[in-house]
Every structure is written in structure tokens, then in C-alpha cells.
Amino acid sequence: MPKFEFNENQVNNIMVFLNRVPVTGFKEIEAMNEIIRIFQNPIIEQDKTPKK
């Protein structure tokens, strides 16, 4: 799966947009929860450079 990097300003803009979108049904609630969960749990990659 592709990975994307967002800077802090981009994440804030997405959250502002999501705050304005009406959440009226189950699919919207599920989508909103998944997006928020992704932002709250960033992938922390381990340093993969060989150690000497």
C-alpha cells in the first residue's frame, strides 16, 4: 500500500475540512473514525541503515 507524508499544516487543513463535513450516516462515521485513527497513530519507521 502506498504511504503518504503530510506536514503539520496539511494535517490541520484536512482536520478543518473534516470538521465542516456533515457526518450523517454510518459510512461517514466509519470513514471519519478511520481517518482520525490514522492521524493519531502515525507509522514510526525504524532506522534501516546498517550498524557498524
Q: Is the pLDDT of residue 36 over 70?
A: yes
| Mean pLDDT score, 17-45 | 83
Residue 52: pLDDT band with limits 50, 70, 90: low
More confident residue, 17 or 3: 17
Average pLDDT over the chain reads: 82
Residues 6+ apart with CB under 8 A from 52: none
Q: Is the pTM of this model over 0.85?
A: no
Specify the amino acid at residue 31: A
Residue 50: pLDDT band with limits 50, 70, 90: confident
40: number of Cβ within 10 Å: 7
More confident residue, 26 or 23: 26
The three three-digit cell numbers of residue 47, written as one number: 532506522
